[in-house]
């Protein structure tokens, strides 16, 4: 019988809207920091985005978004992943 081990992953997400013409530049900046965050584009024409990151990286993310003059909301989520 194979046992399952639970892995708990805690992440934070930012949901925000920005000028669609700036999305590629933000993506470029985030990619400059290896493994800092993932950027999800929910609606490119409206500039609706999500950034997911580890809580330890929150200050860096805030500094980047401050330079873009973006207002945002931070939410936390806890995901239980099962591995074999």
Q: What's the mean per-residue pLDDT of the chain?
A: 82
Domain ranges of the chain: 11-77
pTM: 0.72
- Cα dihedral: 56, 59, 12, 43 (round 10): -140
Residue 2's pLDDT band, with cuts at 50, 70 and 90, is very low
Classified by CATH at the fold level, domain 11-77 comes out as Alpha-Beta Plaits (3.30.70)
Tell me the C-alpha distance between 7 and 83, whole Å: 7
pLDDT of residue 68: 86
State pLDDT tens for residues 6-49. Answer: 445 688 888 889 999 999 999 999 999 988 999 999 999 999 99
């Amino acid at each position: 019988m194979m046992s399952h081990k639970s892995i708990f992953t805690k992440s934070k997400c930012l949901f925000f809207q920005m000028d669609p013409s700036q999305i590629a530049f933000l993506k470029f900046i985030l990619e400059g920091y290896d493994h800092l965050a993932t950027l999800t584009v929910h609606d490119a024409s409206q500039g609706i985005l999500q950034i997911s990151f580890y809580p330890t990286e929150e200050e860096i993310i805030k500094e980047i978004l401050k330079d873009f003059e973006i207002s945002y909301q931070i939410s936390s989520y806890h995901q239980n992943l099962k591995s074999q």
